[in-house]
Structure 1
Amino acid sequence: MTPIKKFTKKTDSVLNLEELGKDLRAGSRIALSKAITLIESQHPDHHRQAQQFLQELLPYSGNSIRIGITGVPGAGKSTFIEAFGQLLCAKGYRVAVLAIDPTSSRSGGSILGDKTRMEQLVKEPNAFVRPSPTSGTLGGVHKKSRETMLLCEAAGYDIVLVETVGVGQSETAVRGMTDFFLLLTLTGAGDELQGMKKGIMELADAIIVHKADGANEPMAKKTVREYQQILHFIQPATTGWTPTALPVSSYKNTGLQEVWSLIETFSGQTKESGVFTERRNQQQMEWFRSSVTDVLVRHFFADHEKKRLMKLLENQVAKSELTVDQALSKLFTSAKD
């Protein structure tokens, strides 16, 4: 494999991808971080090298359990992930956390708060926490998150936890790249349902009523019973699986083992029935189709003339000088010329 220049302004040193691949597969977190940075690079040369690098690692990927995690504001997603991740590490699993961070629409910078909030988990030798800026992509999910997940699997991580920003369509995007989807809520199912879209609940394989401790514990158990009743009337997200609700306290470390046992049962049942593999295959095809759309859009607007025409037509539509269909006709007639 041809070496490439490092993607940094401070050095002209060469990155040896063959050595990087060996180090990554040996479990080096430094090598994994470098590989992810390469994958996220926008430089055309880096992109080509990254895809070749990723292709060579594909045979070593796909062996983890991918768990998506979302939740209502204040539900304590990061607190849960840290406690859950520590439990899994204590069991001997290697755990990767991809925390999808919001990106500033002005600066393009990422808050990257999850790495500082998960102070204990990042100290675990069997854990890898990678904040990933959304870069303004649809639903807040970084377009490279799927490839990052494959790199983590090739590096030997058994469990990949993907945290969503919990807004917009990010839940649907993360559901489309994970095996098991967890929804974190708080006590008071009736109140929560007022602000929760039914569609989000339909994505969940399990619902966690979080912060089930202290004076809040009895109410949390009552909320779990309410959710259990509600789930009977919702179309399951996974064929052959009945979603359930569980009370969890990350503060007291209660309910975490029950969550993992549930995921183990889910994994066993869906692999035996073939649903697990079928979902993975479907996700790969959907990823390919959505990528085709992304490439077509990027190529279409790479032409400066098309960008200019687009602005002109937008103004004409805004002023009601053209209908939307008329503007589209002009835009795509121009594209054929």
Structure 2
Amino acid sequence: MKELAAIAEKIRNGDRRALSRAITLVESLRSDHRQQALDLLAACGTGRQALRIGLSGTPGVGKSTFIESFGLFLVRQGLRVAVLAVDPSSSRSGGSILGDKTRMALLSREPHAFIRPSPSQTQLGGVARRTRDAVHLCEAAGFDVILIETVGVGQSETMVAQMSDLFLLLLAPAGGDELQGVKRGIMEIADLILVNKADGDLRAQAQRTCADYSGALRLLRKRPQDPEGFPKALLVSAIEEQGLEAVWGEIQALADWRREKGIWETTRKAQALHWFSEEVRSQLLEELVRDPNLATVLAQEEGAVARGEAAPAQAAAKIVRQFIESNNA
């Protein structure tokens, strides 16, 4: 316990090595490590409220280049920046495949920046289950801005939206048909759509794409958490570091408006309750699977479902009933 208190103190003092060790602990799948992680999170306290920014985009759109350029821009503004980049996991080792730290060489050398590539550990949508714990630790370490990068465009966006204050969708220049390839649901949760690679030969095409998305956004139903004009589409060039100041200005304007209207605090409370419910479900499922009294029955029901002899819902109900009965005995 004294060791955890010492690690927590180092984290609060901005020790990046201690922060890395702590995130490794909260990502561990071992049950004994999980209890230590919970104790460490409690020892760290709540910390400051950082600006949490979720970011996603189609593969090849330049997410890592944008994050590095944007992160460097923020550091130059005197801010401390943490990047939690959720990588796809190797099906063999469970480790990260992309290694975002190696793709953000300049940002990783900044003393006021912290980059953590985390394997998605086969979690649905690519958002690691413990990413929200890593956010908690980064806030305890005093970071001002936390960028949470998700894998590709898919179900992970709705998950990262539940742990972010704002959500950015990064897209590449393309024709109008590209609008059909982006799901409406993702457009509806995005606060800013950033058309990247607006440079060189692609600049004119990027301007057309930005205009297409601006038109599409105007057709969406206005959200209560947005001021007039949001969500909106902007042009950026990560490689030339163009448009970054405009993006930061829009982010600040939206965040300030939501704070003023009380939407910020309401959203944070709703997110906390969401993850509380998710954690209860997850821990109950873990307890159920670990219950030695259910091991044989669980194996039998899994076999019955696989053979088509039992409906999944019917088998699940049987397992839950037996779990409750065994705990009441």
Contact 1:185-1:192 at 8 Å conserved across structures: no
1:68 maps to which of 37, 54, 58: 54
What SS does the aligned partner of 2:148 have? strand
Q: How many residues align?
A: 323
Displacement over 4 Å in runs of 4+: none
State the alpha-carbon separation in 2 of the partners of residues 43 and 219 from structure 1: 50
- Structure 2 segments unaligned to the other structure (5+ residues): none
* 1:22 counterpart = 2:9: yes
State the alpha-carbon separation in 2 of the partners of residues 118 and 207 from structure 1: 22
Moved more, 248-257 or 312-321: 312-321
Distance 1:319-1:29 versus aligned 2 partners, 3 A rule: closer
AA in 2 matched with 1:96: A
Distance 1:93-1:326 versus aligned 2 partners, 3 A rule: closer
Displacement of 1:233: 1.7
State the alpha-carbon separation in 1 of the partners of residues 266 and 219 from structure 2: 25
Q: Which residue of 2 aligns with 1:10?
A: none
Contact 2:54-2:168 at 8 Å conserved across structures: yes
Q: Which residue of 2 aligns with 1:321?
A: 309
State the alpha-carbon separation in 2 of the partners of residues 56 and 317 from structure 1: 44
Q: Which residue of 2 aligns with 1:175?
A: 161
Cα RMSD between the aligned structures?
1.9
State the alpha-carbon separation in 1 of the partners of residues 311 and 21 from structure 2: 49
* 1:282 counterpart = 2:253: no
Displacement of 1:43: 4.0
Contact 1:176-1:283 at 8 Å conserved across structures: yes
Displacement of 1:211: 0.3
AA in 1 matched with 2:274: E
Displacement of 1:112: 4.7
Q: Which residue of 1 aligns with 2:232?
A: 244
State the alpha-carbon separation in 1 of the partners of residues 87 and 317 from structure 2: 38
* 1:53 counterpart = 2:40: yes
* 1:84 counterpart = 2:88: no
Contact 1:181-1:205 at 8 Å conserved across structures: yes
2:200 maps to which of 210, 214, 217: 214
Contact 2:64-2:104 at 8 Å conserved across structures: yes
State the alpha-carbon separation in 2 of the partners of residues 254 and 302 from structure 1: 53
State the alpha-carbon separation in 2 of the partners of residues 107 and 41 from structure 1: 13
Contact 1:112-1:132 at 8 Å conserved across structures: no
Task: For residues 7-64 of structure 1, give each alpha carbon's deviation from its aligned partner in whole angstroms, at most 9, with x where no partner exists.
Answer: xxxxxxxxx2333222222212112112222322344443333322212322324x21
1:102 maps to which of 88, 92, 98: 88
State the alpha-carbon separation in 2 of the partners of residues 76 and 126 from structure 1: 23
Q: Which residue of 2 aligns with 1:141?
A: 127
Distance 1:197-1:320 versus aligned 2 partners, 3 A rule: same
Which structure has greater helix proportion?
A: 2
What SS does the aligned partner of 2:56 have? strand
Task: For residues 270-302 of structure 1, give each alpha carbon's deviation from its aligned partner in whole angstroms, at most 9, with x where no partner exists.
Answer: 000011111111100000000011011111111
Percent identity, aligned pairs only, is: 45
Distance 1:41-1:322 versus aligned 2 partners, 3 A rule: closer
Q: Which residue of 1 aligns with 2:284?
A: 296
Q: Which residue of 2 aligns with 1:163?
A: 149
Question: In the TM superposition, what are the counterparts of 1:216-235 in structure 2 within 5 Å?
Answer: 216-235=202-221
User: What TM-score does the superposition give when structure 2 sets the normalisation length?
Assistant: 0.92
Moved more, 19-28 or 147-156: 19-28
Task: For residues 94-119 of structure 1, give each alpha carbon's deviation from its aligned partner in whole angstroms, at most 9, with x where no partner exists.
Answer: 00000001111222222252000001
State the alpha-carbon separation in 2 of the partners of residues 91 and 325 from structure 1: 54
State the alpha-carbon separation in 2 of the partners of residues 88 and 293 from structure 1: 37
1:310 maps to which of 294, 298, 311: 298
